[in-house]
Amino acid sequence: MKMIPKRQNIGSAQGPTTPGLLEAVNGNLRRNPVRVRVLRFDGSQLTVPENLMDKFVVRGGNPLIGSIRVSGAKNAALPAMAAAILTEEPVVLENIPDVRDIQTERNLLVSMGAEVELGYGRASHRTTMCCRNLVNPEAAYELVKTMRASTLVLGPLVARMGRARVSLPGGCAIGARPIDLHIKGLEKLGATITQEHGYIEAAAERLRGGNISFDKITVTGTEDLMMAATLADGETVMENCAREPEVIDLAVLLNKMGAKITGAGTSTIRIQGVSKLGGAKHRIIPDRIEAGTFVIAGALTGGDLTVANCDPTHIGSLLQKLEDCGVTVRTTQDSIRVTNGHRLKASDISTEEYPGFPTDMQAQYMALATQSEGTSTVTENIFENRFMHAQELVRMGANIKVEGHRAVIRGRTPLSGAAVQCSDLRASASLVIAALVAEGETILDRVYHIDRGYERIEEKLRGVGAQIKRLGEILPKRSAAQPAGVA
Ligand code: UD1
């Protein structure tokens, strides 16, 4: 259960809060309280009122100076945890980020009967999972709807247990995000798939190797089917695969467990099925999106920021783009230093699959573009509805016009602090970055989105000079007469 922090007076240390802003936000929260369902370790559910809605308060104007450390990659850790389903032996993962999605995945594995130990603190960021006694091969809607990557358990469950029941994810803030390619691929491997009551049920006594050619490049689809194929009978060849570093990291882990995978990181992956996988110990790669977020924040605030513990080769397209914008970028094997003594210049981006410009950096780049000299065009090619941050940036003073999957940003409009809403993980990061250069205070509501994928971002940014605080709001108890809001 989350601890409720003491109420903090945000205005005292760093000047007065924008008058009336907090009151307005609090009033809104009182009208729209939230109830959440919590999955208990025995698999049952509990509905509890969520009286704590954290917000960030950011006062702009400070350049970021110093060194900031990147955590392990959430998007590599999630499939790695799902891979533990494939074996009866313990899998030990190091450099696991302390973020909400990891806790969700832990709950998911525990609900299936897995033993999962999560240790945080100095020596830890390590998890040991043992899936010897899996009893319930199911991913419930309550978990899948909060984290779409829950569908990563589909392939491993069918491969190891012979059956799986996984909720269909439905729509999400950034678009439709179907899982049809996961399903088609599993059918190619011999699974029988049925759909009922919003759930996909997959069954196969033993999967058999096959040829899969993805109609569209999918990251978790590639990972899901790569895991399934490790225990299939015979060889699987997958074409048009995602080439992201997270796919490579998963293949490295699976090979340590005894799988026979070649070609991860290219468009064609070959998997020779084996009858059994064993335990392994593996260190998760650094989070390239967190690294990129800090790099943009450093460049935008005109500071001198070293982003440590990262792999610069994983964000080559972003670093190249920042150099086009006039930012000085220097890299070592595991760090990136950004300095920016000049005016930023506008430059266009177009999101693509790896190694192209990542869709997960598009929102943060848009925040930078609001302060660049000239007009930038941002084209989103991966997701259909990924511009939710644009309207919030406009409320802070940006000049952005969205037409379909393209946004046109006229730069160098002064930003000013406002109350803004986080709509998804990367949109929230974009608003934090914009707030760092806005005049006055910005209050970001619904920062649970950012907690899904950034580990204590406010503490890390404060360490390099940002003025940012987390607020925990305690709501008054509801009277019995009022109906409960459900979110
Ligand atoms: C992963 C990342 C996410 C990132 C995204 C694109 C994880 C946990 N998440 O998400 O942060 O934004 O890659 O880089 O790694 N699609 C289909 N059918 C499918 C699967 C996907 O049509 O069965 C479409 C999607 O709607 C989307 C595109 O393919 O338009 C790419 O999606 P995908 O690569 O699957 O994204 P995720 O793996 O969910």
- SS3 for 394-438, per residue? HHCCCEEEEECCEEEEECCCCCECCEEECCCHHHHHHHHHHHHHC
Mutate to test the pocket of ligand 1, among 216, 240, 380 (most ligand atoms within 8 A of CB): 216
- For residue 201, the cross-strand partners are 165, 194
> Around Cβ 486, how many Cβ atoms within 10 Å?
10
Which H/E stretch holds residue 188? Answer: helix 180-188
Token duo for residue 237: 């060849």
> What was the pLDDT predicted at 243?
98
**Which residue in 172, 241, 310, 422 is the catalytic one?**
172
**Contact 462/478 with Cβ under 8 angstroms?**
no
Q: Give CA–CA dist 389/384, Å, rounded.
A: 14
218 lines ligand 1 (CB under 6 A): yes
Residue corresponding to tokens 């088609």: 184
149 lines ligand 1 (CB under 6 A): yes
- Distance in Å, CA 78 to ligand 1 centroid: 14
Q: Give CA–CA dist 355/57, Å, rounded.
A: 35
- List the one residue out of 121, 127, 125, 137 whose CA is nearest residue 91: 127
> What was the pLDDT predicted at 98?
92
Angle at 280 between CA 80 and CA 284, to 5 degrees: 40
Token duo for residue 36: 């959440």
- List the one residue out of 100, 34, 91 whose CA is nearest residue 473: 34
221 lines ligand 1 (CB under 6 A): yes
Q: Give CA–CA dist 400/377, Å, rounded.
A: 10
Q: Give CA–CA dist 450/434, Å, rounded.
A: 15
Is the omega angle on the peptide bond into residue 355 within 30 degrees of 0, that is, cis?
yes
Q: Give CA–CA dist 352/105, Å, rounded.
A: 27
Q: Give CA–CA dist 241/381, Å, rounded.
A: 17
Specify the length of the chain in residues. 487
> Around Cβ 218, how many Cβ atoms within 10 Å?
22
Mutate to test the pocket of ligand 1, among 102, 145, 152, 177 (most ligand atoms within 8 A of CB): 177
- List the one residue out of 247, 289, 286 whose CA is nearest residue 266: 247
241 labelled catalytic: no
Residue 34: what are its φ and ψ, rounded to 5°? Answer: -115, 140
Mutate to test the pocket of ligand 1, among 217, 220, 359, 426 (most ligand atoms within 8 A of CB): 220
Q: Which residues of 349-358 are buried (b: 16+ CB within 10 A; e: fewer)?
A: bebebbeebb
Residue 114: what are its φ and ψ, rounded to 5°? Answer: -75, 150
**DSSP letter (8 states) at residue 325:** T
Whose C-alpha lies nearest to ligand 1, atom 21? 218
Which H/E stretch holds residue 46? Answer: strand 45-50
Residues of the chain with pLDDT under 70: 1-52, 119-124, 170-176, 473-487
Q: Give CA–CA dist 179/156, Å, rounded.
A: 15
Alpha helices in 45-132 (DSSP H): 74-83, 100-111
> What was the pLDDT predicted at 14?
35
